[in-house]
Amino acid sequence: MRLKFWPYFFRQALININNNRIVHFISLGTMVVSILIFSIFLLMFVNINMWIEGWGHSLSMSVYLQDGIEKEDHEKIAFHIRSLQGAEIKHFISKKQAFKDLKDALGPEAGFLKILSKNPLPASFEVVFKNVGGLRSDSQKIKKELENIDGVEEVQYSEEWLKRFEGLMNMIRIVGVIVGGLLFIGILFIIINTIKLTIYSRKEEIEILKLVGATDWFVRIPFLLEGVIQGISSGILAIISLFSVYLFLSTKKMHFLGLGVLEFVFIPCDYTLSIFLISIGLGLGGSFIAVRRFFEI
Amino acid sequence: MTGPSGAGKTTLLRLIFGTEKPTGGHILIDSINLNRVRRPKLDLLRRRVGFIFQDFKLLSSKTVFENVSLALEVTGARSNFIRKKTHQTLRLVGLEEKEKAYPLSLSGGEQQRVAIARAIVKDPSILLADEPTGNLDPGLTEDIMILFRSIHMKGTTVIIATHSQNLLRNTAQRTILLKRGRIAGER
């Protein structure tokens, strides 16, 4: 298309938007709401994924010590544990403390503990490993390393819990992709049909342009520019609305699956850019598909 | 070209304009066979053919000036030329005072003259007119026929489909009578 036509195309696109502002406003609103629904889903998906991953990355283990070892040995064991990658000792529970905790836990039933001649409970370290990744093979490796330390009697962690966690992660990812995909397809149809209706209301204009000898591209380009302008506007408005939703949610104390207060993050920059580009693509593609059907004149 | 309603006058004009495809036979314009012409070439061909529609086909969202200049805009003509030529043509059809008006604020006769102006502004090789004087009073009809004659004198082929016996009586040009899609008489 010749360069001299472009000022005409831009002028025409802006005039058309102004002349059909109600239809454009309705179409823009539909696009913003549709893209916002998808973006909120993305925001929730990113956050839930992050929470669960963060949850799984912290592996907690109880390291039970042999009876009768000295206090200096405790220090040596603690030093060993700290030298392992990502390890952090949360608590040291002495034999005495362990017995007291058991007594407190039993409450009124604790009376039978009096028949014990000595404290049978071992001292232990509660150790948390950050960024383990939740893989069972990693957990077993760590367990073995801990058991090899002199003075360590036994190491315990919940393998069942890790198994479930991995299952949960996979399920959330699959469900996320399916729901997100369906939502995206639904939104695609809504937007394309909304643009089709916008263009349908100007069927006569296309017909007349064709009758005075306009080429297909001459008719199409102003409509495509309108689609791009609409895409840019709806993308920006949807991202601003999404950020408002994020600001609102981040002020709330969020709980998920019984975990403590969770940190809420905004979607990454590349996701934001993708939403913006998808909006432009939808505006452009929708206009292209919609205007095509009126060319058989 | 004349004939009763349903004789095929409008269909013949549409066939020549390429908005309808013939089920048999061929239509040749400047040796170009319309049956075989591709869409981009048909668009370019239409720039050389002016069509005055019975229902005017004016854009209600555009002014009289914009409706007429549209036929030149699509050709990529320079804006100075478009402006000058559009003013000239509107003067020719007696609408220079109404160039900023919108079609819906005009009378039927005025709308018809806008349609005529749009068809002739690009100096077409062929001018097709479907009942071009249907909404005009006798005085204006005569003016428009003089206009068509002057366009014809410059070398444009003018084909007019009409019911008006008055128009036919006052013309010395070739007249074809159509009946049921066939030529039934000629003068």
Cα–Cα dist A127/A80, whole Å: 12
User: A265-295, pLDDT tens digit by residue?
Assistant: 899 999 999 999 999 998 998 888 888 777 7
Nearest CA in chain B to A296: B19
Give the domain ranges of chain A. Answer: 8-54+165-292, 59-129
DSSP string, B84-149: HHHHHHHHHTT-GGGTTS-GGGS-HHHHHHHHHHHHHTT--SEEEEESTTTTS-HHHHHHHHHHHH
Burial A81-106 (b: 16+ CB within 10 A, else e): beeeeebeeeeebbbeebbeeeeeee
CA torsion angle A273 A279 A281 A286 (round to 10): 170
Lowest-confidence segment of A5-14, A24-33, A251-260, B90-99 by average pLDDT: A251-260
- C-beta neighbour count of B38 within 10 angstroms: 7
pLDDT at A2: 67
pLDDT above 80: residue A162: no
Cα–Cα dist A14/A28, whole Å: 15
- Are A279 and A240 in contact by the 8 Å Cβ rule? The answer is no
User: A171-188, pLDDT tens digit by residue?
Assistant: 888 888 898 899 888 888
Domains of chain B and any CATH numbers = 9-186 (3.40.50.300)
Contact call for B57 and A211, based on CB within 8 A: yes
Cα–Cα dist A146/A154, whole Å: 8
Q: Would the ipTM clear 0.90, i.e. be above it?
A: no
Contact call for A213 and B40, based on CB within 8 A: no
Short-list A294, A213, A205, CA closest to B71 = A213
User: B79-134, pLDDT tens digit by residue?
Assistant: 899 999 999 999 988 899 999 999 999 988 899 899 999 999 999 999 999 988 87
pLDDT above 80: residue B166: no
Over residues A23-48, the mean pLDDT reads: 90
- Are A98 and A124 in contact by the 8 Å Cβ rule? The answer is yes
Nearest CA in chain A to B56: A208
pLDDT at A160: 65
pLDDT above 60: residue A206: yes
Any CB–CB contact under 8 A between A218 and chain B?
A: yes
pLDDT at A131: 62
Cα–Cα dist B186/B162, whole Å: 14
Over residues A83-93, the mean pLDDT reads: 82
Contact residues, chain A, for B40 at CB < 8 Å:
215-216
Mean pLDDT, chain B, integer: 89
